[in-house]
Amino acid sequence: MADPTPGETPKPTQSPATAAPAAASARTGDPSTGERLDGLRSWLAQVDRKLGIRSYIGGAISILALAAAVTSLVLVLQLRDDSATKEDIDTLTKQLSEVSRETTESARKDLDSLAVRIDELDARVSELSSESTSSGRELSVAKDDIADINSQISDLRNRTADLESAASSASP
């Protein structure tokens, strides 16, 4: 399982099919047995390196899978704690219904209050309008009376002037 030394030339790799005859010839004592053993050793070293790399990769994948599983578990537990229950939803629904009912009642009261105020203002406007109409009629009557009085004064002045002129012409 030793790697070739830096000064040594690497031997060609052999497959397991050629490794068995090499082991058989090593037992028989062929002169190339040393070479075959060196080839077998380099082949085993390569297999060992590949197996080591695959083991590291497998270990890293296992660790990553374990970390992903732990992370998933933590997220699921956290979501379970943060999620709303049926009881929470029912409570919120009741609160929303109550707020809606209170808002509707308050709006209805405000509308009723505004309707009363509008009716009061309408009555006041009608009253002022009728007062204005009566005041206008009274003013018109007063103007007519003043015109009549002015006409009567004018008539009296004319009569007084006629009487004075008749008195001055009748007096010798």
Rounded-to-integer distance, Cα 35 and Cα 86, Å: 78
Give the residue-averaged pLDDT of 81-99. Answer: 86
Query: What is the percent of the chain with per-residue pLDDT over 90, rounded to a whole number?
Result: 26
For the ranges 79-93, 102-116, 126-140, the one whose mean pLDDT is highest: 102-116
> Cα angle vertex 34, ends 45, 51, to 5°?
10
Q: Is pLDDT at 11 greater than 80 in this prediction? A: no
User: DSSP letters along the chain, please?
Assistant: -PPPPTTSPPPPP--HHHHHHHHHHHHHT-TTHHHHHHHHHHHHHHHHHHHHHHHHHHHHHHHHHHHHHHHHHHHHHHHHHHSPPHHHHHHHHHHHHHHHHHHHHHHHHHHHHHHHHHHHHHHHHHHHHHHHHHHHHHHHHHHHHHHHHHHHHHHHHHHHHHHHHHHHHH--
From 53, 47, 40, select the one nearest 13 (Cα to Cα): 40
Determine the pLDDT at residue 86: 83
Q: Is pLDDT at 105 greater than 70 in this prediction? A: yes
Question: What does the buried/exposed string (b/e) look like for 40-67 if buried means 16 or more CB atoms within 10 Å of the residue's CB?
Answer: bebbebeeeeeeeeeeeeeeeeeeeeee
Determine the pLDDT at residue 28: 55
Determine the pLDDT at residue 20: 54
Looking at every residue in the chain, the average pLDDT score rounds to: 81
What's the pTM value of the predicted model, to 2 decimals? Answer: 0.35
Determine the pLDDT at residue 169: 75
Give the residue-averaged pLDDT of 20-32. Answer: 56
Determine the pLDDT at residue 1: 45
